[in-house]
């Protein structure tokens, strides 16, 4: 499980876990488990959290120490995300099957992400970011 800065960000705004759970529309137990790195944060929720704090997802997930302002953007452009995934795969010179093996993900799931049929899962997204040296925010087309 990957570490995150949720507790720090929450405390900077003088919020309680209960407050964040209400803002996100989730159970407090779920939010607490995210903060303690007990369960992965779904990609859509990462975007929602990033929008709330207006910062980069890479900072939230401690992939970088560089906190960048990101304008709130609820638009999830699956086509652009799919194209970026394909670009990364081609840059790595890997087939869907080979990349799937590296990410511990089925090639059919990767293909569905590339075809913009569904949003990439956060654990796969994090691993893809690490092996490709691309930011999660770039992959998700967040500016």
Q: Is the pLDDT of residue 2 over 70?
A: no
pLDDT at 72: 86
Helices (H), the chain: 6-12, 17-24, 28-35, 43-53, 57-60, 78-91, 96-103, 107-114, 122-132, 136-139
pLDDT at 74: 80
Q: Is residue 50 part of a domain?
A: yes
Q: Is residue 71 part of a domain?
A: no
pLDDT at 54: 95
Residue 13: phi, psi to the nearest 5? -100, 10
Q: Is residue 23 part of a domain?
A: yes
- Residue 12: which domain range? 6-60
Q: Can you give the CATH number for the domain in which 53 is found?
A: 1.10.260.40
Question: How do residues 24-78 score in pLDDT, each as one tens digit?
Answer: 999 999 999 999 999 999 999 999 999 999 999 999 999 999 999 998 888 899 9
124-129: average pLDDT: 95
pTM: 0.92
Residue 108 region by backbone torsions, left for phi larger than 0, else alpha for psi between -120 and 50, else beta? alpha
């Amino acid at each position: 499980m990957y570490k995150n800065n949720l507790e720090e960000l929450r405390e900077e705004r003088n919020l309680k876990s209960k407050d964040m759970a209400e803002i996100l529309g989730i159970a407090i137990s779920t939010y607490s488990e995210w903060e303690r790195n007990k369960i992965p944060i779904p990609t859509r929720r990462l975007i929602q959290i990033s929008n709330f704090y207006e910062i980069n997802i890479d900072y939230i997930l401690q992939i970088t120490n560089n906190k960048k302002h990101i304008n709130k953007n609820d638009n999830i452009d699956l086509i652009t995300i799919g194209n970026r995934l394909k670009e990364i795969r081609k840059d790595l010179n890997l087939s869907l099957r080979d990349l799937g093996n590296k990410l511990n993900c089925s090639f059919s799931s990767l293909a569905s992400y590339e075809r913009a049929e569904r949003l990439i899962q956060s654990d796969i997204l994090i691993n893809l970011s690490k092996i490709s040296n691309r930011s999660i925010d770039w992959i998700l087309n967040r500016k």
